[in-house]
């Protein structure tokens, strides 16, 4: 636990408050301040003055702590707004994905007889939409790669690949992954 000057002041203020409440009968009869100036008068007994000092000793550190928290909250909000602006500035993303197939059932990547389909679920939307117009499937010795355009951070991507009687489906993954694991399914 890390105590600072404000915590000490609050503890002293609390102690003064408790003592003044315990001794209020003795303190209430003693006038400490009796000032008058141009028709204005200020009178305080010892009990009232001690209550005022205790309230200040407790309240000032609490106020400074509140103001510090308020400054921290303002800083976090500014960072959040800057992050949102940076994400919006990214705009449309182009993503390149490697399709990873189970070793015993991968499609023939050299002979291009397979058909690929891309699907996207936009962030904040539940419905999955076809994304074939913005997808390019590239096959070669290294496997199959998919290039997808018109994506945004937070979108979910799902890929389907059909080769004859077999069909592979990936799980929906967020934009930012580099590899998609493909699961084989037999075509009906």
The secondary structure element, H or E, covering residue 70 is helix 46-90
* Mean pLDDT in residue range 92-120: 78
Q: How many helices (H) and strands (E) does the chain have?
A: 3, 11
In sequence order, which residues have a C-beta less than 8 Å from that of residue 110 and are 6 or more positions away?
A: 139, 140, 141
Give yes or no for residue 30 having a pLDDT over 80. no
Binning pLDDT at 50, 70 and 90, where does residue 111 land? low
Q: What percent of the chain has pLDDT over 90?
A: 13
In sequence order, which residues have a C-beta less than 8 Å from that of residue 27 and are 6 or more positions away?
A: 20, 45, 46, 47, 50
* Mean pLDDT in residue range 76-89: 83
Q: What percent of the chain has pLDDT over 70?
A: 87
C-alpha closest to that of 144 among 106, 173, 187: 106
Higher pLDDT, 108 or 15: 15
Give yes or no for residue 60 having a pLDDT over 90. no
Q: What is the CA radius of gyration of the chain?
A: 36
Q: Give the integer Cα–Cα distance in Å for 158 and 172.
A: 5
């Amino acid at each position: 636990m890390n105590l600072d000057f404000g915590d000490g002041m609050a503890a002293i203020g609390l102690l003064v408050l408790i003592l003044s409440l315990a001794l209020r009968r003795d303190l209430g009869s003693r006038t400490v301040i009796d000032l008058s100036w141009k028709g204005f008068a200020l009178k305080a007994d010892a009990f009232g003055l001690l209550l005022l000092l205790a309230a200040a000793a407790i309240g000032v550190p609490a106020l400074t702590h509140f103001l510090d928290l308020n400054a921290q909250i303002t800083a976090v909000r500014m960072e959040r707004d800057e992050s949102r602006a940076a994400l919006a500035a990214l705009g449309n993303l182009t993503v390149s994905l490697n399709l990873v197939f189970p070793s015993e059932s991968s499609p023939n990547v050299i002979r291009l007889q397979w058909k690929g389909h891309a699907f996207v679920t936009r962030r904040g939307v539940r419905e999955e939409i076809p994304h074939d117009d913005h997808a390019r499937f590239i096959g070669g010795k290294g496997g199959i790669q998919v290039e997808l355009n018109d994506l945004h951070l937070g979108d979910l991507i799902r890929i389907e690949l059909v080769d004859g009687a077999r069909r592979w489906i990936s799980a929906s993954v967020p934009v930012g992954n580099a590899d998609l694991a493909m699961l084989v399914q037999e075509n009906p």
